[in-house]
Structure 1
Amino acid sequence: MNLRSISLFVVPLLFMIVLGCEDKALPVSVSAANESSLTTHQPITSDIINGKGTKMGTAKFTQLAKGVQIDVVATGLKPGLHGIHVHETGLCEAPDFKTAGAHFNPSGKEHGYDNVNGEHAGDLSNLVAGPNGKAEAQFVLTTVTLQKGVSNSLLKEGGTALVIHEDPDDMHTNPSGNSGNRIGCAVIK
């Protein structure tokens, strides 16, 4: 394991332990999240639904100078780490969200930060849910855009989806890091 993969798993857990596992999860970033937003595209906010079709949170997508910031708030999760990824199809049909397709991967790479042939454009670090089942996180994906008409756009024809998985992402196993069932989904259109 490299330093990045260790920090993706250990750092959020250490913060939770040091803070006594407070009732809210700590933010996890994929990249430098302190960039100013571009004014060329309004942020997109989507409801995250669970397998029963009930709203369990929101995801906000904001275009930055170098990528897309994703702000996630979700409830009803088991405490701990959850894989979370952008998937290739903007369709979230409960209960299993298989309609969202595979990970968003316009460059044809393999899954995960630790994969020498990776990573998918839609790969994110794990989402951390606190003891009360709530997760709040901010991610930045520098591999995607909200600008239409380019191959790495989240707003491609048919849209894309943000999917939360039941288990942690191991950051290297194809196709989804052994992250288990899909338990939450938000359409990005």
Structure 2
Amino acid sequence: MRRTPVPLLVTASAVALLTACGGGEDPPADAGQDTAAADTSPAESTDEPELSATLVDPDGTEVGTVEITEVDEGTEVVVEVDGLPPGFHGLHLHSIGVCEPDSANPTDPSMTGDFLSAGGHIGAGESDHGQHPGDLPSLYVAESGTGSLTAVTGALTPADLTDDDGSAVMVHAGADNFANIPERYAAGGPDETTRGTGDSGGRIACGAVEG
């Protein structure tokens, strides 16, 4: 069944998106439930993650971790990386849980490259990029090489990531434009590559999702 993605709730350590507000007085002890009900920030699960992945680069060096947990709002994906190039990087869930460097594309064995074994985005072929269930917000990496991101998506569940051929978390070399190419820049709109991947470039880190 084709799923229609819903907006993602995102927090990132490298960019402060929200600022706290309020007075200096502590809330009364019996106001805990009311305070929690008024909190509109993404819920963080206190449960152990249901799924996880270890991100490695093409040389096999570990560069990060991913934890995936079902929360009230949907599926929470928490990414922590260290040792990646600074800047924004496309971040996606791919359809096959195999991360092999210099591997063949499962749909076109004549194409080889790093982590092509993981196939395309989950949902690719059903809609254009930016609307794939496997699309996630871009990951920002600071000059130190570290970065983190928490996203909550309602487009898929943890169970969707553990089908017969599994799934993988992929970090790309470049920023993801989510196929947002207005016609004033390109009369025909985004081309096939942009509609497929958001022009995020090569695959620099991959982690097979495990239960």
With the shorter chain as reference, the TM-score category is 0.7 to 0.9
Matched residues, number: 155
Contact 2:42 2:152 in 1 (8 A): no
Task: Please state if 1:85 is matched with 2:106.
Answer: no
2:14 corresponds, among 25, 29, 35, to 25
1:98 corresponds, among 116, 123, 137, to 116
- Where 1:154 maps in the other structure, the secondary structure is helix
- Structure 2 runs not aligned, ≥5 long: 1-6, 18-39, 103-113, 180-193
Map of 1:34 onto structure 2: 42
Contact 2:129 2:178 in 1 (8 A): yes
Q: Which has the larger radius of gyration?
A: 2
TM-score by length of 2: 0.66
Structure 2: distance between partners of 1:127 and 1:82: 5
Map of 1:116 onto structure 2: none
Contact 1:27 1:136 in 2 (8 A): no
When the two chains are superposed, the root-mean-square deviation of aligned CA atoms in Å is: 2.7
CA distance 1:171–1:68, shift in 2 (3 Å) = same
Paired AA for residue 182 in structure 1: R
Contact 1:27 1:137 in 2 (8 A): no
* Distance apart, 1:43 and its partner CA: 2.3
* Distance apart, 1:107 and its partner CA: 8.0
Contact 2:94 2:121 in 1 (8 A): yes
Structure 2: distance between partners of 1:33 and 1:188: 26
Map of 1:144 onto structure 2: 156
Paired AA for residue 185 in structure 1: C
Map of 2:184 onto structure 1: none
Task: Please state if 1:158 is matched with 2:165.
Answer: yes
CA distance 1:64–1:183, shift in 2 (3 Å) = same
Task: Please state if 1:183 is matched with 2:172.
Answer: no
* Distance apart, 1:45 and its partner CA: 2.2
- Where 1:174 maps in the other structure, the secondary structure is helix
- Structure 1 runs not aligned, ≥5 long: 13-23, 113-118, 148-152
Map of 2:58 onto structure 1: 51
Contact 1:38 1:64 in 2 (8 A): no
Map of 2:129 onto structure 1: 111
TM-score by length of 1: 0.73
2:81 corresponds, among 74, 81, 88, to 74
